[in-house]
Chain A
Amino acid sequence: DTAVSQTPKYLVTQMGNDKSIKCEQNLGHDTMYWYKQDSKKFLKIMFSYNNKELIINETVPNRFSPKSPDKAHLNLHINSLELGDSAVYFCASSPKTDLTPQHFGDGTRLSIL
Chain B
Amino acid sequence: GENVEQHPSTLSVQEGDSAVIKCTYSDSASNYFPWYKQELGKRPQLIIDIRSNVGEKKDQRIAVTLNKTAKHFSLHITETQPEDSAVYFCAATAGGFKTIFGAGTRLFVKA
Contact = CB atoms under 8 A, between A and B. Distances in A.
Contacts of B18: none
Contact of B31 (A40, A99, A105): A99
Interface string A30-48: 0000000000111111001
A1 interface: no
A102 B99 contact: yes
Contacts, number: 54
Contacts of A41: 38, 87, 103-104, 106
A43 B97 contact: no
Contacts of A40: 103
Which secondary structure characterizes the binding site on chain B? strand
Interface residues of B, number: 25
Interface residues of A, number: 23
Contacts of A45: 98-101
Interface stretch (A20-28, A61-69, A90-98): A90-98
Interface of B: 31-32, 34, 36, 38, 42-46, 49, 51, 87, 89, 93, 95-101, 103-104, 106
